[in-house]
Structure 1
Amino acid sequence: MLGRVNATMTVSTMGVMTLGGLAGGALGPLIGLRSALWACAFMAVLSIVLVLSIVLVWSSPLDQAARTATAHRLRNPV
């Protein structure tokens, strides 16, 4: 199982790196190197913010309380 997870992560990471390289190579001549680097930095920060917001929503105490209440109702029907 661990090998499959590692293989999946490697393939997805290498695929995204390839797309990022192509996008950066295309942006460089179009908008300039400095602007292309700023655009890539902005996208990196944006992706981190999106991932952290999803993690924070999934781990919120209200969501955990709702899941606990639902599980309790399923185990103990009225």
Structure 2
Amino acid sequence: MIKVAYEIVPHDGGWAYRLGNVYSESFASHDEALEAARIVMQEQQVGDEPVKISYQDEKGKWHYEYSDGGDRPEVEIVDHYEAGDRPA
């Protein structure tokens, strides 16, 4: 099973959640970024209809697969910033 971890981090003068090297939009507060990450986490758990999917990898090769719609990743939120430790 795939595991996805959204990390709450300072970003662009505010806060964001990050997956790998990709950041969400900036939020004014840590709590807003955390709530947005929780919403995304819940959406990750919703299954879908079976579909055929295609995608192109970084080398330009096309891949074709079947998704049964129920293979949802395990999702967690990583937050290293306690209320007293958060940068301003």
Instruction: Determine which structure has the larger strand proportion and give its number.
Output: 2
Question: Which has more helix, going by share of residues?
Answer: 1
TM beyond 0.5 = no
In the superposition, the TM-score normalised over structure 1's length comes to 0.33
TM-score (norm 2): 0.30
